[in-house]
Structure 1
Amino acid sequence: MRDKKFFFAISILLGTIVGAGIFGIPYVIARSGIIPGFFYLLILGGAVLLIHLFFGEIVLRTKEKHRLVGYAQKYLGKKGKILITISTILGITGALLAYIVIGGDFLKIIFSFLNLPSFYFSLMFWAILSFFIFRGIKLIAPAELFMNIAFFFIIFLIFCFALPKLNLQNFTLINFEHIFLPYGVILFSLIGLSAIPAIGEIFKSSEERKNYKQVIIIAIVTAVILYSLFVAAVIGVSVKILL
């Protein structure tokens, strides 16, 4: 039987992968068609899985503890460090801004009776998440597990409620005009490299670190399945709104 550290590690990686990008996937697949859309999910899912496994192997075989930028400096040199630093800062900053804005909008919907602008809810969302970050991985891991369970349960409910109302005519097989549209959105939605070193903070012993590959595989496969269910549910009942 797996101990709690195994599930915490999956939650950390899965929580990093699944984010705001999920809400853009139904739109781009509705525009391109389900054949190229699910093709991208499978092919990019496999490619991203290999990249994460490669990075996991680097983390396991390196004695010193680093983050993504540190590993880039060690194995790619100064130029690699500069490139990864710039891309990491831009990527994480953009993603965090998107999460804060979207988080504020969701909180405004939930607490609409407070009649406050989205800006204040975004500030509250930022403050709450900052508290978890400053407390460290020991608090983030169980929080991620709880939020992932809640999020997956909500997606499952959406799929179950949408299933009886699915209209197959809403699904376009392929649209060559927008065939490349899903590529960037899906790739962004599957990347969770920044969480790979964090898993090492959970798996301390060499015995625990043997679970590294399983954690990566389970997290990415789960993300692909989750995205597929969400796409099927949203496009099946609301394609006219999306387009």
Structure 2
Amino acid sequence: MINSKLMGGTLLIAGTAVGAGMLAIPMVLAQFGLLWGTLLMLFIWLGTTYAALLLLEATLKSGGGLGMNSIARKTLGKGGQLLTNALLYALVVCLMIAYIVSAGDILQQLLNRFSIQISLLQSQIIFTGVSAFFIAQGTAMIDKLNRLLFFVMISALLLILIYLLPNMALDNILQVSNQNKIELIKNSAVLFTSFGFMVVIPSVVKYNQEATHKQLRNMVVIGSTIPLFCYLLWLYAVAGNLPLHQLVHFSNVSDLISILGKTHKNLEMFLSLFTSLAILTSFIGVSMSLFDQNRDLFEKNRFVTAVITFSLPMFGAIWAQDQFIGVLAYAGLILVFLAIFIPLAMVRQIRINKINVTYYQVCGGSLSLAVCFLFGLFLLVSQLI
């Protein structure tokens, strides 16, 4: 029998990873050929999943049921705690601001279709307020909401693939217009942030405290594998339906949605639905992680914690509007430190101090830790080339 809470944790991980950025993957990878695009994606998935398992090990050996704040304090001391908190807040707040801006725009357009005229500011406030209400109810409520949204999102994706996969052209699939592997490596950041689910691991471990370590490991692996299959299917479906010279010249995702909508009747509606839900499920994941972090740090009640959690992103969205989206180019750089180097440092200290040695430990030993460190360096270089 499938454990309901474990399934919920798996879908929270997958839902946090599968964001609207998925739609841009064909635009950045197809030009290098699907073979190299697939190999790079598998490489990034393997590295991020291993790093996520390191964070799982650190979470369990630190006591479980803790936010990143407490895990960092127990493993890295006061200095490591401050650095981890700074990185987490910088990353999550940036992501939340971007999601509020995007979701506010989508909500405004949706209401306008029903002749309900509201401003962008009003739509952002409505979206943030409703989200804060659900997040404050706790992980059990978030789990139920996320399951519903995730299954609708995946259903929309399946309908999109049903439209696209039968119409794939072999000539399109085999096209390669760019043989420059350095240019390919530069796009590693796009894929890395597309697997950026690590921030929710402490929350889903706390939610599944009664689960065995093996079950939690499987939850993380399956949760990261679902996005991998979604990304690969989407990459092949789009690349097989559009000629490469057209695909690489789109200036943004809306151009891609528009041209696919014109090619296939009713497809634009499903693409818009998928995009909206992808933003929403990612927003739920990152805001839940920040809520739990703030509750762990400030030890306040749910209402006060919700106000603390959503105030800064809301004001950031009002102040920055669309201009702030460009700052998200730096989010991948922050994520490398938070998702790769911080878990590495935590696990290294735990193993040196031999804390809870009978608990779950990621396989591979010191050699795997060294390879993971090199993976983090690879990601840094890819963004700084």
TM-score by length of 2: 0.58
On the 8 A contact 1:33/1:179 being kept in 2, the answer is no
Q: Would the alpha carbon gap of residues 202 and 66 (structure 1) be closer, same or farther in structure 2, given more than 3 Å must change?
A: closer
Residue 222 of structure 1 and its aligned partner are, at CA, apart by 0.7
Q: Within 2, Cα distance between the matches of 1:18 and 1:31?
A: 22
- What is the CA-CA distance between 1:188 and the residue it aligns to? 0.6
**C-alpha deviation, 1:20, in angstroms:** 3.1
Partner of 2:158: 156
CA RMSD after TM alignment:
2.2
Question: Is 2:17 the counterpart of 1:17?
Answer: yes
Q: Deviations over 1:173-197 (max 9, x none)?
A: 4623431232001001102111111
Is the CA contact 1:25–1:182 (under 8 Å) kept in the aligned structure 2? no
Residue 145 of structure 1 deviates from its aligned partner by 0.9
Map of 2:125 onto structure 1: 123
Which AA in structure 2 matches 1:58? A
**How far does the alpha carbon of each residue in 1:51-85 deviate from its partner, in whole angstroms, 9 at most, with x for none?**
11111122222226422233223222333223322
Write the deviation string for residues 177-230 of structure 1: whole angstroms up to 9, x where unpaired.
43123200100110211111111222132x455410110111111110011112
Contact 1:15/1:144 (<8 A) preserved: yes
TM alignment of 1:42-53, pairs within 5 A = 42-53=42-53
Which has more radius of gyration?
2
In 2, Cα distance between the equivalents of 1:170 and 1:79?
Answer: 52
Partner of 1:5: 5
Unaligned runs of 5+ in 2: 250-385
SS of aligned partner of 2:86: helix
- Contact residue 64 and residue 202 of structure 2 kept, 8 A: no
Mapped to 2, the partners of 1:104 and 1:60 lie a distance apart of 37
The percent of aligned pairs where both chains have the same amino acid is: 23
Name the amino acid aligned to 2:76. Answer: L
CA distance in 1, matches of 2:123, 2:111: 9
1:33 aligns with 2:33: yes
SS in 2 for 1:63: coil
CA separation in 2, counterparts of 1:75 and 1:141?
29
Q: CA deviation at 1:118?
A: 4.2
SS in 2 for 1:150: helix
Q: Distance in 1 between matches of 2:119 and 2:19?
A: 23
Higher alpha-carbon deviation: 93-102 or 131-140: 93-102
Q: After alignment, is 146-155 or 79-88 more displaced? A: 79-88
Q: Using CA pairs below 8 Å that are at least 6 residues apart, which structure has the higher relative contact order? A: 1
1:175 maps to amino acid: N
- Any stretches of 5+ residues in structure 1 without a counterpart? none
Q: Deviations over 1:120-142 (max 9, x none)?
A: 33332222211111111111011
Q: C-alpha displacement at 1:157, in angstroms?
A: 0.9
Residues in 1 aligned to 2:149 and 2:185: alpha-carbon distance in whole angstroms: 32
Aligned residues: 242
